[in-house]
Amino acid sequence: MRALQLSRFVPCIVGIAATALVGVAFAGESPIYGGPIGGTDIGAAYLPPEPGLYMGAGYIGLTSDRFQDVNGNKVPFDTGFDASAGVVGLNYVYDSKVFGGSIASSAQVAYGRRCIRFGERNCSSGIADIYSDVFFWSKYLGGGESGNPTLAPLPYGLTIGAGLGVTMPTGRYDQDQPVNTGGNTWILSPNLAATYLTGPKYSLGGDGTEFSARLYYSEPLRNRDTNFDAGTVVNLDWAITERYGNWQVGIAGQQAKQIESDKLPDGTRTNETKFSSGSVGPVVSVFVPSIGSQIKVKAAANYDAENTFSGYSLVMVMGWKVF
């Protein structure tokens, strides 16, 4: 049961958002949208089956030497971006049920360094904006094939979830600086999630094949210092993985699309700043009984980048139950 607790916990607390780290302010504004620091992937709709406090810690690194314009073409001058950060988070599962489902609240904060190059290179170090799932509700609906009775019980079938995420402008920010670790913008991100786990009969040779996704509708509020109002973004995080005992292996991806134009300080809206970003790569998660912890590693490369950087990212996370 301990392995199950952690494997269902890690997705809820980890991530470190490539979005949070790439969302820098420079000579204007860059892509702004919400979501857990790192995004979600495996077990997107899960919460731990037992109430209590859970903790996670991790690292993320990103690098790019390619800024692509609104048409997806590399701009014809020297550009670059790199960032790294450490992140910690807490996730508390309440000892109560709502409509037959579990409820949790979480918060994540990162400290890191960002550097951006548009001809001249500029860097900034400091606290990033805090992301919080003010609440996340998860309900197991079942309906799946029975699993191997000799293993810890797995949530075969369908689990759904819904929540409200908030990105708080707590990071380091100075409107006169070319790059910041904070965005100075509140972002509201209602979201829906679903995870379906097949039984061994319909798996790819393991204990079950997991299909998981979480959809965010991110609404940034106005930046009070610049009067810039970023447009609404829809963001889908997903993963397809196979479970093999304590291991979970597969691919994970993310697709974000700005669906509303930015509002400039003079009140006009422009399509020239709309962005699109998509990435995909391998993800591996393992429960280590000797230390009672779940460890996850995820790498990704961009296949889509419009009006943003195209590059590579690496995420490493560890999660455990505190009490």
The residue with greater pLDDT, 291 or 104, is 104
Phi, then psi, of 85 in degrees rounded to 5: -160, 155
pLDDT the model gives residue 316: 96
- Among 33, 9, 11, 13, CA closest to 21: 33
Share of the chain above pLDDT 90, in %: 71
The DSSP element (H or E) to which 13 belongs, if any, is helix 2-13
Give the sign of the dihedral formed by CA 201, CA 207, CA 213, CA 214.
Answer: positive
pLDDT the model gives residue 239: 98
Mean pLDDT of 189-217: 94
Mean pLDDT of 140-157: 70
Of the pLDDT bands very low, low, confident and very high (cuts 50, 70, 90), residue 220 is very high
pLDDT the model gives residue 144: 67
pLDDT the model gives residue 270: 80
**pLDDT (tens digit per residue) in 231-269:** 999 999 999 999 999 999 999 999 999 999 988 888 888
Of the pLDDT bands very low, low, confident and very high (cuts 50, 70, 90), residue 157 is very high
Residue 311 has pLDDT above 50, yes or no: yes
Domain boundaries, the chain: 2-321
CA distance 46 to 223: 33
pLDDT the model gives residue 11: 45
Least confident segment among 120-124, 203-207, 304-308, 311-315: 203-207
CA distance 43 to 214: 9
**pLDDT (tens digit per residue) in 11-58:** 444 433 334 444 433 333 457 888 888 789 999 999 998 999 999 999
Mean pLDDT of 94-107: 96
CATH, range 2-321: 2.40.160.40
State the amino acid at position 298 in one-letter form.
K
Of the pLDDT bands very low, low, confident and very high (cuts 50, 70, 90), residue 2 is very low
